[in-house]
Amino acid sequence: MSAEVFVAIYAIAIMGFVAWNVRRGAFVIDPSKLAPILIFIFLVLVVVLNYAGLNPSIAAGTLMKIGAAGILFAGTIPMISAAVGLFRFGDEFGPNIFYARNHITGVIDTVASLVMIFAGLLIYHLDLVAVGFFFFVLIPYSGNALANAYYYSYQRRLGK
Amino acid sequence: MIDMTLLSALADSAFFWGAFVFMVACSIAGLGAIRLALKGEAVTSLMGVSAFTTVAGVCLYLIQIIFDVEFARDTAIALLVLGAVGTIVFARLFRMEEGR
């Protein structure tokens, strides 16, 4: 029961922080400061668990799994935001709404690939990292190809 | 003294619920992608199918990690790689003028 309470508090804290960032439209804490702070907290927790009698490698693996869970919780908010955007932007906004939808699907792809890369790194699934990185490289090409195809097909339709 | 079993159970529970919540969010995004794929325009449908293959692939990968279903990983790799490559190829085809 205590594990579920911890997970609920952890999820609400992380999702609330990400939602705050999304609502603000900018980083609340700059990533160049946030990443060293998180690494420092991780190292302090490993040392504390080591002094409490745990094997350091096992303690680090456990903490990294909790960090991977945090990555998954953090990816939830942008994914739901993108889904809301896909539902809201209908055809009534005109033909150029395609480019907004293209951006939204790009957000879905980017969030999915970043979650795969960082969660895979934290739980030692290197195949997940490899596929995520390959996908991350291909995202701009597919988005550009789709926008290019739509632009030229729309120009052809205007010409007819 | 901290109990290792409790800490391990905590990490497993956090990862399970994180993956579960993320899969629910992916499912909602997948519904939006299906809605996009069912619209009339060919390029819009291609975009929707591309987004749906992405969320389906990620969900299958998470299912493999949580429940140790090995074939889900192979299906996820095929969906993620071939989905992105197929989107680029078909977008190039749509870009070309009809009849060529």
Chain A residues within 8 A of B87 when measuring between CB atoms: 142, 145-146
Could you tell me which of B66, B47, B53 has the C-alpha nearest to residue A146? B47
Please answer yes or no on whether B50 and A146 come within 8 Å at the CB atom: yes
Within-domain flag for B12? no
Number of domains in chain B: 1
Please give the ipTM for the structure prediction: 0.91
With 0-12 CB in 10 A as exposed, 13-18 as middle and 19+ as buried, what is A80?
A: buried
Residue B97: predicted pLDDT: 61
The answer to whether A47 touches A107, Cβ cutoff 8 Å, is no
Question: Could you give the C-alpha distances from A68 to A35, A119, A134, B14, B70, in angstroms and in order?
Answer: 14, 5, 20, 9, 21
Per DSSP, the residues of B4-28 read HHHHHHHHHHHHHHHHHHHHHHHHH
Put simply, the chain B residues between 9 and 38 with a CB less than 8 A from any chain A CB are: 9-15, 17-19, 21-22, 24-26, 28-29, 31-33, 35-36
The pLDDT > 70 percentage for chain B reads 94
Within-domain flag for B42? yes
pLDDT tens, residue by residue, B32-67: 999 999 987 889 999 999 999 999 999 999 999 999
Is the C-alpha dihedral spanning A27, B20, A60, A132 positive or negative? negative
Please answer yes or no on whether A145 and B91 come within 8 Å at the CB atom: yes
b/e B7-43 (16+ beta carbons within 10 angstroms → b) = beebbbbbbbbbbebbbebbebbbebbeebbeeebeb
Amino acid letter, B47? M
Please give the DSSP secondary-structure letter assigned to residue A47: H
Within-domain flag for B15? no
The Cα A64–Cα B70 span in angstroms is 23
Checking if the pLDDT of B99 tops 70, the result is no
A151 CA: distance to closest CA in chain B (Å): 8
* DSSP SS3 for B2: coil
Supply the pTM of this predicted model.
Answer: 0.92
The Cα B34–Cα B50 span in angstroms is 10
Residue A72: predicted pLDDT: 95
Within-domain flag for B10? no
| Helix (H) / strand (E) containing B38 | none
> Locate tokens 């899969």: which residue?
B23
Q: Which stretches in chain A have pLDDT values below 70? A: 160
Q: What sections of chain A are H helices per DSSP?
A: 2-24, 31-51, 56-88, 97-122, 126-159
Within-domain flag for B36? yes
Q: Which of A10, A12, A22, A62 best probes binding to B when mutated, by most B CB atoms within 10 angstroms?
A: A62
With 0-12 CB in 10 A as exposed, 13-18 as middle and 19+ as buried, what is A37?
A: exposed
Within-domain flag for B5? no
Put simply, the chain B residues between 63 and 82 with a CB less than 8 A from any chain A CB are: 65, 73, 76-77, 80-81
Please answer yes or no on whether A79 and B92 come within 8 Å at the CB atom: no
A30 CA: distance to closest CA in chain B (Å): 24
The Cα B47–Cα A33 span in angstroms is 36
pLDDT tens, residue by residue, B65-84: 999 888 899 999 999 999 99
pLDDT tens, residue by residue, B8-21: 888 999 999 999 99
* Cβ of residue A123 closer than 8 Å to a chain B Cβ: yes
Checking if the pLDDT of B100 tops 70, the result is no
The Cα B39–Cα B34 span in angstroms is 9
Q: Which domain covers residue B28, as residue numbers?
A: 21-95
Checking if the pLDDT of B98 tops 60, the result is no
Count residue pairs from A and B with Cβ separation < 8 A: 184
